[in-house]
C-alpha cells in the first residue's frame, strides 16, 4: 500500500511540467472541461458563497447532472462517493457525512451559509431537517473551516444550497419545476416549485416535497453472518449485544467430579439459601456446631477424573425475529414546504423564507424501556422530527469605495425531536435556536490584498424530557469574530486568518431530575474560550498547475453530549456516559494539495495530517446494563493522516459524443497515541479505504453513467466490542443510469433511469454504527422525471 501511495505522489509531482507544455496546444483548440467536473477553484456564482470562503478556496462542488445521479435520502450517502468522504450509518434513513474519519460535531452541515444548530449533530441517528429533493448544489470542504464557523467545523463542512431564498431574478414571470421519483427499493416521492416574478425586483417562491418508503430490500439476512454463528455468539458475549441475541452461557458443578453429597447442604439448604452447586463436595465429613463431624453420603454419580464443572449454553434467541431479505423497521415518511419573498437589484438582494419540515423513520434495532416494561417486551426504535424555520438574508455590493460587499444571514428555528421505543417517547428534545452571521469584505488594496471580517453567533435552548432522557436541558450560547486576508504575489498567494470565540453551556435542571450514574452524573455549567487560525501558501508556476500548502490550528469546545449524557441511548443501542470536566480539544492540521487542469485532463491530489490533543470519543467500559452496552466519553491524543486522489479525462469523439473517465480514491489512518482500554490504538467505526472508477457519456441531451466503487476490508478496527471487533469483507458497489432531456413547446422534460447497487451486493460499511444489524439497501431500479416550465 505504501508503494502505491508513493507512486501516485511521484507521478503527480514529476509529470506536472510536462502537463504544462501539453496545455498550450490544447488551449489553442479551445477545449474546456465540462461544468460537472468537481474542482476546488472558487465559484463564480453570484450571491451564493461568502467572500471569506472564496479567499480560503477549499471547497469542491457537486451540482447539475452529477448531483441528480448520486442524490439519495440522506446527506451522508449523497456525498459518500467523493474522495475523502464517507457516511456514518444508522440504517438506511440516517447517515451523517464522515470527512477524513471525522464526523458528528466536528463536521459542520450548513444550509445557505448558516449551520444547522439542532440535535442532529449531537446524536447521529437524529434527522437533519433538510429535504434532499430540494437541494440543487452541494459544496464540500474537507479542510478545517473552524476559522469561519468555530470548532464544530474543525473536521470540515458540508454546504447545502437550495432556493428557499431567491438571490437572482428568474428569466420568466412564472417558472418552476415538478419532479417525481419512483423506485423499487427506495420509495416514492416528488416535489413542486413555482416562482412568480414581476421581472423587475420581486420574486415569490413556493415549494413542497414528500417522500415515502415502506421498507428496504436486501440480498440476504439483515443481521451480519456472525449473528447466526453458534460458536461466535457463544464465545463473544459483546457480539450477542451487538446482534441483539439472548444466549446464556454459564457453568455449574459437575456431580460426577465429587465423591460426596454434603450433609450440611441437606439440612440447611433452605435456611441458608444454598444452591445446587453447594450439594457436592470433596470432603468426606461436614462439621455441625454442638454435634461434631458427620459422615457425608457417598455420591452414586461419582466418576474419578471427571471435570469439576459443566458449561451450559442456552439456544440463541433473537430479540425479535426478522424477515429475510429486508431491513426491519426501515420505514421513512418525510414532507416539507417553503414560501419565500425576495427583493433583488443589481447591487444586492433581501429575502425572507418560512420552512416547515417533518419526518419520521425506523431504526433497524429493538429495545425495551428499563423503567416501564420488562425485558421480554422488545419494541422497535424510531425517530421523528418536526422543524419550523424562518430565514432572513441580504447582501449588498459597493457600499463605499472601501467596502466591496456586506452580507448578513439570520435564522430562527423551533424543532421537536423524539426517540421512541414502540409508542413510548424515550427521549424528547425541544430546541429553539437563533443564528446570525454578518460579514463585510473590503475592496482590493494595492490591487493585491483582499480580505473580510465577520461575526457569527448561535443561541440554542434545548429542553429535554421523556421516560429515559439521557441529556439534561441545556442553554448554549456561542459566538465568534474572524478576520481573513489574502495577498497576491503572483505566482505566490498567501492567505491568513484568525478567529476568537466563546462557548457557554448553562444547565437547566429541575429539583426532581434523575441525573443517572457514572461520569455523566456530575453536572455543572461550563465556559470555554476557543480560537482558530489559518495560514496557506499557494504556488501557481503555470496557469494549469497550482500547489497549495495550508496549516490550521483550532480549539473546539466539548458538546453537550460529551459533557452531560448519562443514560440509555436506545438509537445507538448503548448506555452513554459523559464527563462534564472535559476541557477544549485542540487540532493541528497540515495539508498539501496539487491541482492540474490541462485541456481535457485534470487531476487532484491531497496529502494531509492532523494531530488532536484531548480528542473526545466514546469508549467501551466492558459493562452491559439493561440489555445495552455501557460506553463512556473519554479523551486521547490522536493522529489522522491520509491521501486522496482524482484523475479525470474527457475523450471527445466525432459528432459531439463525449466520454469522461474518472479514477478516484482515498486512504485514511486514524491512530491513538496511547493504547485505549478494549479499543487498543484504533477507534471503532473507522471508514473503509475506497477506490473507484466512473464513466460518463454525453451526446446532446442524452447522458449515461456507470460507477464502480471498491471498499477495502478494514486492516485495523478499534474495539467496538469487548473481546475484539469483527472486520467485514470488502465489497464493490456499482451504479448506472441513462437519461434524456426533451424540449416540448414551453416545457423541458428530463427522464432518468438509475440502478443502484446493480450487483445486489451485501455491503456493511465499517463506519456504520449499526453494521451488525443492517447492511446498505440492495438493488434498486428508479426513475426520475423533472418538468421545468
Q: Is the preceding peptide bond at 491 cis, omega within 30 degrees of 0?
A: yes
Cβ atoms 99, 87 nearer than 8 A: no
Same-domain status, 246 and 195: no
Residues 306 and 366 in one domain: no
Whether the per-residue pLDDT at 767 is higher than 90: the answer is: no
Do residues 116 and 253 share a domain? no
Question: Helix, strand, or coil here: 786?
Answer: strand
Residue 88: per-residue pLDDT: 87
Categorize the per-residue pLDDT at 4 as very low, low, confident or very high, splitting at 50, 70 and 90.
Answer: very low
Q: Is residue 494 part of a domain?
A: no
Three-state DSSP class for residue 44 = coil
Surface-to-core class of residue 314, CB atoms within 10 Å of its CB (0-12 exposed, 13-18 middle, 19+ buried): exposed
- More confident site: 84 or 35: 84
626 band by pLDDT with thresholds 50, 70 and 90: low
The DSSP bridge pattern shows strands 157-161 and 108-111 to be parallel
Q: Are residues 116 and 245 in the same domain?
A: no
Q: Residue 213 falls within a domain, yes or no?
A: yes
Question: 682 versus 339: which is more confidently predicted?
Answer: 339
Name the residue among 616, 467, 442, 605 with its Cα closest to residue 528. 616
* Per-residue confidence band for 14, with pLDDT thresholds at 50, 70 and 90: very low
* pLDDT higher than 60, residue 42: no
Question: Which residues is 10 bridged to in the sheet?
Answer: none
Q: Higher model confidence: residue 137 or residue 400?
A: 137
Residue 765 within any structural domain of the chain: yes
Same domain, 584 and 684: yes
Domain annotation covers residue 182:
yes
pLDDT in tens, 557-615: 999 999 998 887 776 777 888 999 999 999 999 999 999 999 999 999 999 999 999 99
User: 116 and 213: one domain?
Assistant: yes
Percent of the residues in the chain that have a pLDDT greater than 90, as a whole number: 63
Which residues are within 8 A (CB) of 249 and not within 5 positions of it... i.e. 6 or more apart? 234, 237, 311, 312, 313, 314
- In terms of Cβ atoms closer than 10 Å to its own Cβ (0-12, 13-18, 19+), residue 237 is middle
* pLDDT given for residue 426 in this prediction: 82
The last residue of a domain, from among 270, 293, 318: 318
Phi, psi of 292 (to 5 degrees): 105, -155
- Evaluate whether residue 10 is within a structural domain: no
What's the confidence (pLDDT) of residue 39? 33
Number of structural domains, the chain? 2
Report the chain's mean pLDDT, rounded to a whole number: 87
| pLDDT on residue 586 | 97
Look at residue 10 in the predicted model and tell me its pLDDT.
39
Report yes or no on 77 lying in a domain: yes
Is the CB of residue 214 less than 8 Å from the CB of residue 187? yes
- 283 plus 330 within the same structural domain: no
Q: Are residues 781 and 661 in the same domain?
A: yes
Instruction: Kindly report, residue by residue over 356-379, the tens digit of the pLDDT.
Output: 999 999 989 887 765 444 455 788
Out of 302, 318, 334, a domain closes at 318
- Residue 512 pLDDT: 67
Residue found under cell 458427620: 294
Q: What angle do CA 541, 543, 545 make, to 5 degrees?
A: 65
Band (pLDDT 50/70/90 cuts) for residue 514 is low
SS3 276: helix
Which DSSP state fits 716? -
**Residue 360 carries which DSSP code?**
E
Reduced DSSP (H G I as helix, E B as strand, rest coil) percent helix, strand, coil of the chain, to 5:
15, 50, 35
Last residue of a domain, one of 273, 290, 318: 318
Is the domain of 277 the same as that of 417? Answer: no
Tell me the pLDDT tens digit for each residue of 730-758. Answer: 999 999 999 999 999 889 999 999 999 99
Q: Look up residue 301 and give its three cell numbers.
A: 454419580
For residue range 704-736, list pLDDT tens digits in order.
999 999 999 987 766 656 556 788 899 999 999
Within a domain: residue 519? yes
Structural domain boundaries, residue 533: 19-222+322-421+434-486+500-788
What per-residue confidence (pLDDT) applies to 517? 67
Contacts for 100 with CB less than 8 Å, ≥ 6 apart: 84, 142, 155, 156, 608, 610, 640, 642, 668
Residue 429 placed within a domain: no
**Structure-model confidence comparison of residues 684 and 251, the more confident one:** 251
Residues 275-313 have pLDDT tens digits of 888 899 999 999 998 888 999 999 999 999 999 998 889
Nearest CA among 240, 229, 202 for reference residue 345: 202
- Greater model confidence, 62 or 43: 62
pLDDT band at 201; cut points 50, 70, 90: very high
Pairwise CA distance, residues 260 & 286, whole Å: 10
pLDDT of residue 614: 96
Q: Range with the lowest mean pLDDT among 393-407, 529-543, 574-588, 642-656?
A: 393-407
pLDDT at residue 22, rounded to an integer:
39
Amino acid at each position: 500500500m505504501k508503494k502505491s501511495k508513493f507512486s501516485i505522489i511521484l507521478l503527480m509531482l514529476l509529470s506536472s511540467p510536462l502537463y504544462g507544455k501539453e496545455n498550450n496546444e490544447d488551449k489553442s483548440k479551445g477545449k474546456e472541461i465540462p461544468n460537472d467536473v468537481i474542482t476546488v477553484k472558487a465559484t463564480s456564482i453570484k450571491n451564493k458563497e461568502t467572500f471569506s470562503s472564496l479567499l480560503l478556496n477549499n471547497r469542491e462542488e457537486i451540482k447539475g447532472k452529477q448531483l441528480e445521479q448520486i442524490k439519495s435520502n440522506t446527506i451522508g450517502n449523497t456525498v459518500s462517493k467523493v474522495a475523502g468522504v464517507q457516511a456514518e450509518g444508522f440504517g438506511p434513513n440516517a447517515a451523517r457525512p464522515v470527512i477524513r474519519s471525522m464526523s458528528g460535531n466536528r463536521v459542520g452541515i450548513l444550509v445557505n451559509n448558516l449551520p444547522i444548530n439542532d440535535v442532529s449533530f449531537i446524536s447521529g441517528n437524529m434527522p437533519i431537517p433538510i429535504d434532499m429533493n430540494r437541494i440543487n448544489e452541494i459544496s464540500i470542504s474537507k479542510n478545517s473551516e473552524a476559522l469561519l464557523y468555530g470548532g464544530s467545523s474543525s473536521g470540515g463542512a458540508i454546504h447545502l444550497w437550495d432556493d428557499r431564498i431567491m438571490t437572482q431574478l428568474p428569466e420568466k414571470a412564472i417558472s418552476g419545476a415538478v419532479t417525481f421519483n419512483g423506485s423499487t427499493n427506495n420509495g416514492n416521492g416528488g416535489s413542486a416549485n413555482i416562482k412568480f416574478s414581476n421581472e423587475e425586483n420581486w420574486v415569490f417562491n413556493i415549494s413542497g416535497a414528500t417522500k415515502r418508503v415502506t421498507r428496504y430490500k436486501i440480498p440476504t439476512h439483515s443481521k451480519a453472518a456472525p449473528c447466526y454463528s453458534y460458536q461466535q455468539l457463544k464465545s463473544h458475549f459483546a457480539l450477542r449485544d451487538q446482534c441483539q441475541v439472548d444466549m446464556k452461557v454459564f457453568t455449574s458443578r459437575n456431580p460426577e467430579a465429587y465423591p460426596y453429597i454434603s450433609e450440611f447442604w441437606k439440612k440447611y439448604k433452605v435456611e441458608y439459601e444454598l444452591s445446587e452447586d453447594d450439594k457436592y463436595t470433596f470432603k468426606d465429613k461436614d462439621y455441625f456446631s454442638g454435634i461434631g463431624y458427620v459422615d457425608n453420603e457417598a455420591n452414586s454419580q461419582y466418576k474419578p477424573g471427571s471435570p469439576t464443572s459443566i458449561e451450559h449454553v442456552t439456544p440463541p434467541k433473537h430479540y425479535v425475529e426478522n424477515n429475510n431479505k429486508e431491513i426491519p423497521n426501515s420505514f421513512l415518511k418525510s414532507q416539507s414546504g417553503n414560501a419565500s419573498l425576495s427583493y433583488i437589484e443589481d447591487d444586492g438582494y433581501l429575502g425572507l423564507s418560512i420552512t416547515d419540515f417533518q419526518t419520521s423513520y425506523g431504526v433497524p434495532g429493538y429495545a425495551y424501556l428499563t423503567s416501564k416494561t420488562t425485558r421480554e417486551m422488545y419494541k422497535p426504535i424510531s425517530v421523528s422530527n418536526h422543524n419550523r424555520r424562518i430565514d432572513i438574508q441580504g447582501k449588498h455590493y459597493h457600499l463605499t469605495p472601501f467596502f466591496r460587499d456586506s452580507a448578513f444571514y439570520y435564522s430562527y428555528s423551533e424543532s421537536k425531536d423524539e426517540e421512541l421505543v414502540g409508542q413510548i417517547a424515550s427521549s424528547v428534545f425541544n430546541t429553539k435556536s437563533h443564528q446570525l452571521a454578518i460579514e463585510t469584505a473590503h475592496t482590493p488594496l494595492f490591487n493585491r490584498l483582499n480580505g473580510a471580517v465577520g461575526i457569527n453567533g448561535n443561541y440554542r435552548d434545548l429542553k429535554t424530557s421523556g421516560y429515559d432522557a439521557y441529556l439534561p436541558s441545556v442553554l448554549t450560547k456561542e459566538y465568534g469574530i474572524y478576520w481573513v486576508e489574502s495577498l497576491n504575489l503572483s505566482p505566490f498567494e498567501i492567505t491568513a486568518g484568525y478567529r476568537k470565540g466563546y462557548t457557554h453551556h448553562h444547565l437547566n435542571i429541575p429539583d426532581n431530575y434523575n441525573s443517572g450514574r457514572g461520569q455523566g452524573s456530575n453536572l455543572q455549567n461550563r465556559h470555554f474560550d476557543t480560537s482558530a487560525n489559518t495560514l496557506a501558501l499557494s504556488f501557481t508556476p503555470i496557469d494549469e498547475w497550482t500547489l497549495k500548502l495550508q496549516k490550521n490550528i483550532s480549539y473546539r469546545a466539548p458538546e453537550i453530549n460529551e459533557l452531560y449524557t448519562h443514560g440509555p441511548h436506545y438509537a445507538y443501542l448503548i448506555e452513554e456516559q459523559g464527563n462534564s470536566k472535559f476541557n477544549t480539544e485542540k487540532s493541528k492540521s497540515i495539508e498539501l494539495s496539487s491541482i492540474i487542469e490541462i485541456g481535457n485532463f485534470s487531476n487532484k491530489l491531497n496529502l494531509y495530517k492532523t494531530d488532536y490533543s484531548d480528542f473526545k470519543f466514546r469508549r467501551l467500559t466492558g459493562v452491559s446494563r439493561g440489555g445495552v452496552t455501557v460506553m463512556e466519553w473519554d479523551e486521547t491524543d490522536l493522529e489522522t493522516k491520509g491521501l486522496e486522489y482524482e484523475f479525470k479525462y474527457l475523450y471527445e469523439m466525432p459528432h459531439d459524443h463525449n466520454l469522461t473517465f474518472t479514477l478516484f480514491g482515498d486512504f485514511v489512518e486514524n491512530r491513538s497515541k496511547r493504547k485505549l482500554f478494549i479499543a487498543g490504538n484504533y477507534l471503532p467505526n473507522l471508514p473503509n479505504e475506497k477506490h473507484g472508477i466512473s464513466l460518463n457519456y454525453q451526446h446532446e441531451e442524452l447522458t449515461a453513467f456507470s460507477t464502480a466503487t471498491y471498499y477495502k476490508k478494514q486492516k485495523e478496527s478499534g474495539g467496538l466490542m469487548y473481546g475484539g471487533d469483527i472486520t467485514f469483507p470488502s465489497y464493490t458497489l456499482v451504479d448506472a443510469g441513462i437519461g434524456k432531456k426533451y424540449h416540448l413547446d414551453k416545457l423541458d422534460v428530463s427522464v432518468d433511469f438509475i440502478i443502484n447497487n446493480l450487483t445486489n451486493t451485501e455491503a456493511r460499511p465499517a463506519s456504520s454504527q449499526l453494521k451488525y444489524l443492517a447492511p446498505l439497501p440492495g438493488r434498486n431500479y428508479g426513475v426520475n422525471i423533472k418538468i421545468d416550465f
